[in-house]
Structure 1
Amino acid sequence: MKIKKILLAAFVFVGSVAIAQNKIIAHTDQAKTVIDKDIYGHFAEHLGRCIYGGFYVGEESAIENVKGFRLDVINALKEMQIPLLRWPGGCFADTYNWKDGIGPKSDRPSIVNVHWGGVTEDNSFGTHEFMDFCELIGAEAYVNLNVGSGSVREAKEWVEYMTSSNKSPMTELRKKNGREEPWKVKYWGIGNENWGCGGHMTPEYYADLYRNYATYCHGADFKIAGGANVDDYNWTEVLMKKLSRHQFLVDGLSLHYYTIPGGWSHKQSATKFGEPMYYETLQKALRMEELVNRHSTIMDKYDPAKKIALIVDEWGQWYDVEPGTNPGFLYQQNTLRDAISAGVHLNIFNNHADRVRMANIAQMVNVLQAVILTKDEQMLLTPTYYVFKMYSVHHDATLVPVNLESEMYEVDGKKIPALNASASVKDGEMNLTVCNLNPNKDIEFEYTVTGDTYSNASGQIITGSKINSMNDFGKPESVTLKGFEVNKPKHGKMKVKIPAKSVVLISLSK
């Protein structure tokens, strides 16, 4: 079902003064599409301190751990209800030989991480460690195969090693390394960014190569083709044309888009910015709507039944690194601006749940728009963490289409809608998530629910005193999840005023 969402400014005139009319109408009687919980997925690459020192410290560490995994991180991710984790990359995936990361750790060869900082990778975190971690946090595993520098046989054997219960050299090797039963691995990415670090291929060449790999990866349940970079619509066109006729070989097509205020050559600070850069960040975040729409339109042409999912498996904010840190480690702080942007992205994905069935923010710990930061034995939860925790109400819920009429937020003559929203229903509870992008103004809107009746309401809010409010080590949290008081609905309607620069959840029950 195509979800229709209206973002516009409506005005009534009193005398000569224009007054904006902000409205959200949620149509529970039109709720049909399930929001896949995997839209709330995460990404862990061998990059900087995401894995080593981030969530994996080794069993000999003084930091409290389980099998070498930080207990504080495990508990935080479980509370956030992380549904999915993608690994080992990213660009790293297309230089990774999985056999280097199995067996006794003392026997594993080291490699140089050529993409991220040129550091030596000792391969102490490999297949068994990744699957152990997924089991500890209750997350589905998404494994990215090496197409750029690997081989079909290498990929085939990895799938067999992890998923086969038949007697074979690979299953015997797995058992020798301590795992008797196969793992259940649903998602398999066949290559990554093959238009760039994954081989600088043409879409025609990659499509043929993909079919070759997919043919031999028996046991790979849900196979994902490496899709477009941002607005490379030709890449999507070529892949859909070549792959849709072989739908038994492809289940998903990926899309990568990062929000980069200032652009690649002029990346900005994650914490030191004014309102113009705040505005530019959210304007670029909203572009995700256009990208999803246009790539989906191409996919609809070849796959009108929407059997092939759009997988946004890399998204998030990309700023300059924190001063004094390794540029190749991509370590950045996280502010209220990032929380609002995360809310905008997740609302967009929810509203396109008919086509978007997985998305992974980059990256989980200590890299780019992380939900968790660590510093030796310390750990903190970022503003983005709290958005994912708040939005967990949408996991596997049924999307409720919304019509939204919003006033505009204007900076230097440029305008974007001030409100952004999505809604869902699950177990008799109706949940609406709303972002107020305007940092200067509380916004009141009329909220109407059609098709069902609710009598009780509660709310939660994420906000801060400044647009660059953040959580920092050794200090009380500045941005967290708090209760938000809302009036009960009457006759299916309610007035809601949400504070400036905030993300709000309104929950209705009967």
Structure 2
Amino acid sequence: MKNKALLKLSNLIVFILVTFLSNSQNNVTVLEIKADKESPIISKHIYGHFAEHLGRCIYDGIYVGEESKVPNTNGVRNDIILALKELKIPNLRWPGGCFADTYHWKDGIGPKENRPSMVNRWWGGVTEDNSFGTHDFLNLCEVLETEPYLAANVGSSTVQEFTEYIEYVSHKGGSPMAELRKENGRDKPWNVSFWGVGNEMWGCGGNMTPEYYANLYRQYATFMTDWTNSDKMFRIASGANVADYHWTEVLMRDIPKNLIEGVALHSYSFVTWDKKGSSTKFDEAQYFSTMQTALKMEELVTKHSDIMDKYDPKNTIALIVDEWGGWYDVEEGTNPGFLYQQNTMRDAMIAGTTLNIFNNHSARVKMANLAQTVNVLQAVILTEGEKMLLTPTYHVMKMYTAHHDAKLLPLTFESPSYTFNNESLPAISASASIDKNGLVHVSLVNIDSKKENKVEIDITKLDVKKFSGTILSASKLQDHNTFDNPNKIKPAIFKTFENKKGKLEITIPPFSVVMMEGK
């Protein structure tokens, strides 16, 4: 009996040691970076933004009017101009969203005092005076040195109104709309490339079937031209809602390739659609659920891309994720139709992981637009009177500017798990690139709410001698910047890494974003 007991004890000790050693080895995630000559360029347009006539995004956000006490240029806040310039935003989508398919562009041109008012039926039922219109938006894009992306009206418009809009902003002169533009103070055309042919046609754009919309799209796209017989016109079809793969199938099947350059996709992250919860007063269960929907983007992009590959094996049509981000209940005491919410480290996790997914799928994903720029949903900027703050999401996107137009470096790794209530998610998200100057960048996200994770990167195949790092982190997931403390969360120098004989060992704290730079 004694020998049997000793044998059992011995076996138990061996089991514990083996488990301990196995877990110790698994504590380090090995990332293998491959230098692939065939890798795509990560388009800077993946880092696009979205400014809809919704709540306080435009009015009392970006645009305060020329008479405002807030320092402004032609009515646009100077601090927002500076912040967006520093963010290097590559494109800006406007005027919607659902608003786009009720917007008639001629109401927003000419002397401001002569512009008719309208009721924003989608967002709060407020009356707008059209003081921020096409000239105001396109001139702002010039100041920001960003590409405008016009989501044009299909739901309540006509082909004639649509094509006259293109003529107004892109024709050099000698045409009725170009002459009207000149009368309104703009001689040169803006030469807009990106055009959305309606928005969410499966919903607020008209509750259409994909078959009906595909035919309608063909009609509109046929009459679209940039008036120079060039290939600059980039026509984007209103794409699927989340996992509606049939919608993508129909568009790819029924729209001729010579009429389309991009297919859109919309997907938001939340706890549940019916109970989105607070943006700041959330628990770990709500955090975990939000990250489940955020990481679903990997599956969505993969499956929609697979359908596109079937009809477009040469990858000539882009997948455009022109609405994405976190969506929660509005802040207490604010208009429910204004979608104003705070922005915490949870949103930094959404931003970092989503952008990594887009980077890694950059062969097909050529453009994306975070929803939205100011004071709406997962905004990068919040304002209150003369005050302005930059959110954790802003800081993540600024860190990731290193990936703009850089060449993707494919990664392979087995992520450790972030486990909660017997469910698991991959804890580590990563993407890597090398820019035209030879700088290597690796963006890393650890979504685990409690555990740090260690990552090892073999850098022997890279011509890199020295690394530096930047980190965005906080003491609590619910931490956020406020108007009284606007710099509570901001990037800092990252030091918890070592270069050991060609192995870069990195320790990533819980719920943090790290950007490594090698040169």
Number of residue-to-residue matches in the alignment: 495
State which drifts further: 479-488 or 54-63: 479-488
Letter of the 1:388 partner, please give it: M
State whether structure 2 residue 461 is matched by structure 1 residue 455: no
- Counterpart residue identity of residue 193, structure 2: K
DSSP-derived class of the 1:405 partner: coil
Pick the aligned partner of 2:79 from 72, 80, 93: 72
1:462-508 Cα shifts (integer Å, max 9, x gaps): 01010010000112522111110254535432111111110000111
Are 2:54 and 1:42 equivalent residues in the alignment?
no
% identical equivalent positions: 55
**Alpha-carbon offset, residue 51 of structure 1:** 0.5
Q: Identify the residue that residue 446 of structure 1 maps to in structure 2.
A: 456
Q: CA deviation at 1:452?
A: 2.3
Q: 1:233 to 1:186 in 2, by over 3 A?
A: same
Q: What is residue 19 of structure 2 aligned with on the other side? A: 16
CA contact (8 A) 1:85 1:139 kept: yes
Deviation at 1:205, TM superposition (A): 0.5
Q: Counterpart of 2:476?
A: 466
Give the C-alpha shift of residue 439 in structure 1. 1.6
Looking at structure 1, the residues matched to 386 and 337 of structure 2 have their Cα atoms a distance apart, in angstroms, of 23
- Per the alignment, in what secondary structure is the counterpart of residue 433 of structure 1? strand
Amino acid at match of 1:55: I
Contact 2:389 2:486 in 1 (8 A): no
Q: 1:241 aligns with which of 238, 249, 253?
A: 253
The correspondence of residues 157-172 of structure 1 with structure 2, limited to 5 A, is 157-172=164-179
CA distance in 1, matches of 2:312, 2:480: 43
1:221 is matched with 233
Amino acid in the other structure paired with 2:409: V
Shift of residue 184 of structure 1?
A: 2.2
SS in 1 for 2:401: helix
Per-residue deviation, 1:417: 0.9
1:409-467 C-alpha deviation (Å, 9 max, x unpaired): 10000001110000000011100000001121111121123632211000000010100
Cα distance change, pair 203–450 in 1 and its aligned pair in 2 (3 A) = farther
Confirm or deny that 1:399 pairs with 2:411. no
Matched, 1:131 2:141: no
Cα distance, 1:31 vs structure 2: 5.9
Larger Rg: 2
**Structure 1: any 5+ residue segments left out of the alignment?**
1-11
Give 3-state SS (helix, strand or coil) of 2:254's partner.
helix
Please give the TM-score of this superposition, normalised by the length of structure 1: 0.95
Instruction: Write the letter of the residue equivalent to 2:395.
Output: Y
The aligned amino acid for 2:119 is: V
Aligned to 1:102: 109
Structure 2, unaligned runs of 5 or more: 1-14, 227-231
State the match for 2:8 in structure 1.
none
Superposed CA RMSD:
1.3
User: Per the alignment, do residues 253 and 401 of structure 1 end up closer, same or farther by CA in structure 2, a change over 3 Å counting?
Assistant: same
Alignment of 1:282-321 (within 5 A): 282-321=291-330
The answer as to whether partners of 2:237 and 2:264 remain within 8 angstroms in 1 is yes
Q: What is the rounded CA distance, in whole Å, between the counterparts of 1:70 and 1:401 in structure 2?
A: 40
Residue 41 (structure 1) shift: 0.3
Match of 2:508 among 495, 498, 501: 498
Following TM superposition, where does structure 1 have runs of at least 4 consecutive aligned residues deviating by more than 3 angstroms?
Answer: 486-492
Separation of aligned partners in 1, 2:466 and 2:35: 16
Shift of 1:212: 0.4
Tell me which amino acid in the other structure corresponds to 1:480.
Answer: K
- Structure 2 Cα separation of the partners of residues 307 and 33 of structure 1: 13
Matches within 5 A, 1:327-476: 327-426=336-435, 427-449=437-459, 451-476=461-486
> Offset at 1:14?
4.6
With 39-48 and 216-225 compared, the bigger mean Cα shift is at: 216-225
Q: Structure 1's 260 and 293: CA in aligned 2 closer, same or farther, altered over 3 A?
A: same
Q: Describe the SS at the equivalent of 2:46.
A: helix
Deviation at 1:289, TM superposition (A): 0.2
* Residues 380 and 392, structure 2, Cα contact 8 Å, conserved in 1: yes
- Corresponding residue of 2:5: none
1:184 to 182, 185, 191: 191
Whole-angstrom distance in 1 between the partners of 2:110 and 2:422? 60
Return 135-144 or 91-100, whichever deviates more. Answer: 135-144
Letter in 2 for 1:445: V
Which residue of 2 is the match for residue 3 of structure 1? none
Deviations 1:379-423 (A, max 9, x none): 000000000000000000000000122210100000011100000
**Which whole-Å CA distance do the structure 2 matches of 1:444 and 1:113 have between them?**
50
| Greater relative contact order (CA < 8 Å, ≥ 6 in sequence) | 1
